[in-house]
Amino acid sequence: MNFFTTFKHLNLFTRGLSIFSLTLAMTILLSTAAFAQPATPIQSLPDSAAVNQPHNVMLLWNASENAATYHLQISDTSSFTTTTYDQSQLVDTVHFVDSLNFNTTYYWRVAAINGEGTSDFSTMSSFTTWEAIPQGPDPVDLGLLDTFAIIAYAAVTNVPSSAVKGDVGLTPSSGTFIDLTEGEVTGNIFAVDASGPAGSIASAAMLTTAMGDLTIAYNDAAGRTVAPIGIAGNIGGQTLYPSLYKSTGTLEVSAGDLTLDAGGNEDAVWIFQIASSFNMTSDRKVFLTNGAKAGNIFWQVGSAATFGTTSVMKGTIMAHTQVTFATGATLEGRALASTENVTLQQNSITVPEKSTGTANEENTNELPIGISLSQNYPNPFNPTTSIRFGIDKASNVRLDVFNMLGQHVATLVDQQKAAGFHTVNFEAAQYPSGLYIYQITANGSRQIKKMTLIK
């Protein structure tokens, strides 16, 4: 063997040894990292020093590298000399703690655990629980959407047969994209043209107003900022009380059902701000208890809302893109899609009977909150009907009637009115049968409802 051959073999051997050494070093490094003591967790929700938190609060922290389980401690003292809650076998990074005391400041911290040891506890964080179960925020004014079960931008698709109790509307797409029959809808089907299903009503102007009201309502719900309660991930299996809830990502009801508890207050309101998508998996349910009403629940969804087979949902869903129901899913509320479709598959959707703002109208000794506009009575009517409205302070009130083409028909009130409830009659003997819109404007606000004249 000559010199050059020997050198070549030696070089190959050396390279092979180097690769082996490098591989061995990487294996040792990865093995060491895999069994290193975990990093200290970082708390995420609720914000440190947060106030007005529920007495069954969600605690959320970031996942720690190499962690197998977590150790959570809660105390009513910053020294943690005693603990209200102490659990060291938590595998998730989110945990609901029930039955905390009202009007109490709590301190909490969390550590990560694996076979190599336990990290330091996280920086101590605190929150204070609310004094009592609140009524929640003011309701979202839906304007003309109040009687709608469905409104969509691009299409209303359907696998027969579905049952919709409430009005259905589609704009700006042609009425040919409404895949519901007259027999499936207990209410009116509105389209922008005459190509809608049999019995549908062409009312482009009204639908434009309704879609504008959806934009206003969506932005109102998304823009609420007073004392939001942070939530994330799966909220199934929990009981949530009236409040403004905020999720900065996706939200779902998957493992377990969701209960909304009004605490005996029939006017209690929930608003859910969801930055991304909302998903309810198959067979999951929303239960209402202690006076909670579907008409007082509002879900503002940043992208799409999806409901699995035979799921049971409650409340008004305002999705930025689309709302999709799998086979057999039911909704007591409204499915409102701003930019895409509402998709049905043998579903039942029912508009809630009554929303917040009507409970006190029968008591003339009480003032409404802001302005209120009742449904006319009787409705349908021929030829006279009564309209009741209320204002919380003296102001100029204007009450107008429009036809479905958006043309002004009559002004019923245009004068200064005292605070309280008032009733005015609408005499329609000279007008043709059909749908009409009546609108109240006072104190810089407005409300709209629909009525039907049948001769």
Do the strands 420-427 and 58-61 form a parallel or antiparallel pair, or are they unpaired? unpaired
Percent share of the chain, pLDDT over 90: 76
DSSP assignments along 315-365, one per residue: EEEEESS-EEE-TT-EEEEEEEESSSEEEEES-EEE--S--TTSTTTT-TT
pLDDT of residue 167: 94
Bridge partners (DSSP) listed for residue 381:
453
- What pLDDT, on the 0 to 100 scale, is given for residue 366? 64
Question: What tens digit of pLDDT does each residue of 109-154 get?
Answer: 999 999 999 999 999 999 999 999 999 999 998 988 988 999 999 9
Q: How confident is the model at residue 31 (pLDDT cuts 50, 70, 90)?
A: very low
Count helices and strands (H / E) in the chain: 2, 39
Q: Can you tell me the distance from the alpha carbon of 315 to that of 240, in angstroms, rounded to the nearest whole number?
A: 14
Residues 308 and 282: their CA atoms lie apart, in Å, by: 4
Q: What is the CA radius of gyration of the chain?
A: 29
Torsion of CA 337, 341, 346, 349, to 10 degrees: 10
Q: How far apart are CA 389 and CA 447, in angstroms?
A: 10
User: Considering the entire predicted model, what is its pTM?
Assistant: 0.81
> Residue 54: pLDDT band by 50, 70, 90 thresholds?
very high
Q: Which residues contact 156 (CB under 8 A, 6 or more apart)?
A: 150, 168, 170, 177, 178, 179, 180, 341, 342, 344
Q: Residue 234 and residue 160: Cα distance in Å, rounded?
A: 31
Least confident range from 21-30, 124-133, 365-374, 423-432: namely 21-30
**CATH hierarchy code of domain 371-453:** 2.60.40.1930
Question: How much is the pLDDT for 378?
Answer: 87
List, by residue range, all CATH 2.60.40.10 domains of the chain. Answer: 43-129
**Neighbour-count burial of 15, counting CB atoms closer than 10 A to its CB (0-12 exposed, 13-18 middle, 19+ buried):** exposed
Query: pLDDT by residue (tens digit) across 219-267?
Result: 999 999 999 999 999 999 999 999 999 999 999 999 999 999 999 999 9
- The CATH superfamily holding the domain 43-129 is Immunoglobulins (2.60.40.10)
pLDDT at 360 over 90: no
Give the separation between CA 100 and CA 271, rounded to whole angstroms: 23
Phi, psi of 28, rounded to the nearest 5 degrees: -65, -40
- CATH 2.60.40.1930 maps onto the chain at 371-453
The whole-number average pLDDT for the span 355-371 is 54
pLDDT, mean of residues 196-202: 93
Tell me how far apart the alpha carbons of residues 397 and 417 are, in angstroms, rounded to a whole number.
Answer: 6
CA distance 352 to 335: 12
pLDDT digits (tens, 9 = 90+) for 163-177: 999 999 999 999 999
What is the pLDDT of the chain when averaged over all its residues? Answer: 89
Phi, psi of 450 (to 5 degrees): -115, 155
pLDDT over 80 at 19, yes or no: no
The pLDDT score that the predictor gives to residue 29 is 43
Tell how far CA 379 is from the center of its chain: 31
The pLDDT-based confidence of 179 (bands split at 50, 70, 90) is very high
Nearest to 313 by CA among 299, 194, 124: 299
- pLDDT > 90? residue 404: no
Quick one: average pLDDT of 18-31? Answer: 47
Spatial separation of the C-alpha atoms in residues 114 and 219, rounded to whole Å: 45
CA–CA separation, 439 vs 144, rounded Å?
9
- pLDDT of 35 reads 58
Mean pLDDT across 379-388? 90
